[in-house]
Amino acid sequence: MIGVLALVVVLVLWAAWRPERLDNHSVLVIDATGSIDEQHPTDLLGSLTGRKPAVLHDYVDAIDAARTDSRITGLVLRLGSLDTGWAKLEELRAHLLAFQTSGKPSICYLGYEGVGNPEYYLASACQQIWLVPSAPLNVKGMMAEAVFFRGSLDKLNIVPEFYHIAEYKTATNMFTEKKFTAEHREEVASVLHGIYSRYLNDAAQARHMTPAAFEEILTHGPLLTSEAVEKRLVDRLAYWDQVQDYFKSGDRDWKPVSLGRYASFVKNPEGDQLAVIYASGLIMSGDSRNSPTQGIIMGGDSVAADLRAARDDADIKAIVLRIDSGGGSVVASEVIRREVERARARKPVVVSMSDVAASGGYWIATPATKIVADANTITGSIGVLVGKLNLAGLYRLLGVSTDYVATSDNATLFSDQQNFTPDQRAYIEKSLRDTYSQFTRGVAQGRGMKVEAVDKIGKGREWTGAQARQSGLVDELGGLDRALAIAKELAHIPAASPVHLVRFPEEKGLLEMLFERDSSELSEFGSLDATLRHIAGVMEPVQARVPYQLRIR
């Protein structure tokens, strides 16, 4: 074993040491499929091999570098089915459109199944769109779909009991309802039409047609391959070998360079330092971690520590807090919010919102100097909720029984074996009112608004970034690059000057991860009770979160 480990270490060191060379006339080939995250998860295998899945800034940094890199003669985007939000797609599009200003060709190659509205939205930013002859183009009208579990809970004898402020706070409707309530439908329809309108305008402009003409095509979609060319949504039908031939001329060979390999040539410029702090995932107390079911968990203590480190570093001139979270624990959110407030007292703090920065994700943004969101960001959801599922009926169905001894009536407050008592419900409602009041006061103070005005656009309602800009919840529309430009301006750094980005959290090495892993990660789902509580999404105590089950395609 020692010999094998030594050999692995030697191979890894050799791979890291050996010099790489990028050939002239290279073509950057970007494979985009599945999810695109903001930050790398803790990954032992990735740390060992040095290979990690690309995150959003890997994509945009490579596209930007290739635009001015004389060794890169063109770009090919190979698109598969994507599982990411519309704000990240919007940011990627912006950088692909900027690449076109270089005069170098950019081709989106649609050679996989599952190409629908999100994929086509991204593809439309390329100079040309090529489609495999056997692949239909699955563009059509847009829909938003939510899943409801109330019928299943009834069959399992599980009783949902949740309370929320206010009527648009719909995160628990998946447990309590079987379909949209009137307020839930109004909220979803508003977000859907906001994203749809952006899709129509952006894609139509890229394909040199009017939004009305593009919508007419979508109304009659999906399209056969021949129809896709006829309707001018696709430039030509082609295979991968024909893409390669396109970049050959004379004696010039096909010289592809992958995103992963090209990333090693992209350098972080020297200059004044700006911090980019990533705040991704469900917000919970404690340290950040990975969960088998939730992915990256945003630990309140970890993000707070990153904010303190950036605040106390005299070389860091400003902070950009990049948020991609639908919220979670109010307590953890408040821990982070306090550190944002303290950091702002020392240096500019600019929030950059990704796919979602809502509920607790908006809570932590409120004290920032400026807030920037993409037009397609989901934000707002200023509201709170609390509740549980009574699993006593399910336990009886499974033949499981429990018993208890308590020293007071409220000791059973979050027991999953009974409903709330009248006194417990009174406490829950009081707690919700107090937390909602704290939330709206914080927003009012941070945004320079009256509490009454915040409540009017609050009530748990979600908004797109464009809608939030109109109501004052967001200062400007744009991606991370716009947030960085604002941070430079606030820090009195000339716009043309390069900056060195210091990214938090700092990625850990292999040995650090090995020593920090504990048995709790391996036993997260080690008991029936723990499993049921994760499935049930017990919200103890008050939470500020949004539903993750809404899909817009």
Q: Is 169 a catalytic residue?
A: yes
**Helix axis angle, 480-490 relative to 86-100, nearest 10°?**
80
Tell me the C-alpha distance between 553 and 543, whole Å: 28
Give the whole-angstrom CA distance, residue 309 versus residue 315: 11
Closest among 450, 432, 343 to 387, alpha carbons compared: 432
Question: Of the residues 124, 288, 333, 359, which is catalytic?
Answer: 359
Token pair of 377 as six digits: 């960001």
Query: Which residues, in sequence order, are CB contacts of 107 under 8 Å at separation 6+?
Result: 74, 75, 76, 77, 126, 127, 128, 129, 130, 243, 246
Helix segments in 56-129, DSSP class H: 56-68, 86-100, 117-123
Which residues have a Cβ under 8 Å from the Cβ of 128 and sit 6 or more positions away? 105, 106, 107, 108, 235, 236
Nearest to 268 by CA among 59, 513, 61, 122: 61
For 286-338, give the DSSP string: SS-EEETTTEEEEEHHHHHHHHHHHHH-TTEEEEEEEEEE-EEEHHHHHHHHH
The β-bridge relationship of strands 462-464 and 378-380 is: antiparallel
Question: Could you give the CA distance from residue 379 to residue 362 in angstroms, rounded to a whole number?
Answer: 7
Catalytic one among 88, 106, 169, 352?
Answer: 169
Residues 329, 441: Cα–Cα separation, whole Å? 18
Give CA–CA dist 92/123, Å, rounded: 10
Q: What is the CA radius of gyration of the chain?
A: 25
Do the Cβ atoms of 126 and 223 come closer than 8 Å? Answer: no
Crossing angle of helices 480-490 and 56-68, in 10° steps, is 80
Cis peptide, bond prior to residue 65, ω within 30 of zero: no
Query: Which pairing describes strands 295-299 and 289-291: parallel, antiparallel, or unpaired?
Result: antiparallel
The burial class, CB within 10 Å (0-12 / 13-18 / 19+), for 233 is buried
The Cα-based distances of 352 to 13, 338, 372, 479 in angstroms read 36, 18, 5, 7
CA 400 from centre of chain: 39
> What does the alpha-carbon distance between residue 204 and residue 213 come to, in Å, rounded to a whole number?
8
State the sign of the Cα–Cα–Cα–Cα dihedral 120, 476, 474, 327: positive
Q: Which residues form the catalytic set? A: 169, 359
